[in-house]
Amino acid sequence: MTVVAVTGASGKAGRAVVRDLSEHGYEVRAIDIAPAPADLGVDVLIADLTDYGQAMQSLDGCDTVVHLANIPAPGRKPDAVTFNTNITMNYAVFTAAVHLRADRVVWASSETTLGLPFDTPPRYAPIDEAHYPYPTTAYALSKVASETIAEQIAAWSGLPFIALRLSNIHAVPDYAKVPGYWADPRSRRWNAWGYIDERDVALACRLALTADVAGAMYGPAVRRPARRGLPPDRGTQAAVDLRDPALDRQGAGGTRLRAPALLARRGQAGLAITPTEECVGATTMVTAVVMTPRTFTICAPGSPGPLPDGRTG
């Protein structure tokens, strides 16, 4: 049985990932600095992952790593604490995974690397991967720096690093707040009205564990026309479809939606996973993007209407 270390296991994304991996036959080693919630289903190893020795011992014996632990947003701690904690932790976990010969690292970067919160207006809209890097907070800068760290360590070691630029994560109870956004659309302007469901985070992490990224190269998965002076996307090669057919959904008006519709194409220096062309035009509030050599991009498109379980995407 594959043993997966999940850091940040007590957090919102971590709980969803632990549940999903356990339900799909993985043995999970849950790691966090915070105690486990009562309903997690596995014990949590309490560890401070900014300490390299603790990171090494925590990951020892695991086949692969899903690294979700970090200070999760700007404003939670003083800027210097946020930046130093995140990059120190990420370096410790990344290098521990290399030294312990893990298969790969799937880790949580952030939508903020693209410019969020948009107190400083974006260069253009809708936002895509070409808007990177555009950090406007110490938190976002910690994620941009960590993406660079991952890229360089991947080049040194050959270990794949898969970074998920996760948007505002919603659990089921969070959807009760959504109608309150409608009266003032500006209330969600800070992140361009984006979010991702915790179940789609879990799915993205699980698919990333088995994505064929060995020897992969980077390139966008779909062609988009030039806009605001940007060139059209370059051509790509050898598509790898990572869609889970069981998650095809019935959208408004009978439209068949695939969410997350994950299509990987190989280009020049990493692996890119983005929405398939039929989903690009959908009303999208779900964004989870990825990047960099030996990492890839995952985007989970939303739906134009409500889903049977109450989600809108």
In a domain, 305, yes or no: no
Q: What is the pLDDT of residues 35-64, one digit of tens each?
A: 988 889 999 999 999 999 999 999 999 999
Of the listed ranges 12-26, 107-121, 125-139, 249-263, the least confidently predicted one is 249-263
Residues found in the chain: 313
Q: What is the pLDDT of residues 70-88, one digit of tens each?
A: 999 999 999 999 999 999 9
The strand order across the sheet containing 271-274 reads 237-241, 263-266, 271-274
Distance CA 176, CA 161 (A): 35
Please state the domain count of the chain.
1
Predicted structure pTM score: 0.73
Cis peptide before 301 (omega within 30 of 0): no
In a domain, 261, yes or no: no
- The whole-number average pLDDT for the span 179-201 is 89
In a domain, 76, yes or no: yes
In a domain, 302, yes or no: no
Among 190, 153, 188, 158, which Cα is nearest to 174's?
A: 188
In a domain, 137, yes or no: yes
Among 109, 135, 134, which Cα is nearest to 124's?
A: 134
CB atoms < 10 A from the CB of 27, how many? 13
Q: What is the pLDDT of residues 146-174, one digit of tens each?
A: 999 999 999 999 999 999 999 899 999 99
The parent domain of residue 157 ranges over: 3-168
In a domain, 110, yes or no: yes
In a domain, 176, yes or no: no
Tell me how far apart the 2 most distant CA atoms of the chain are, in Å.
55
Domain with residue 73: its CATH number is 3.40.50.720
Using the predicted structure, report yes or no on whether residue 235 has a pLDDT greater than 50.
no
In a domain, 117, yes or no: yes
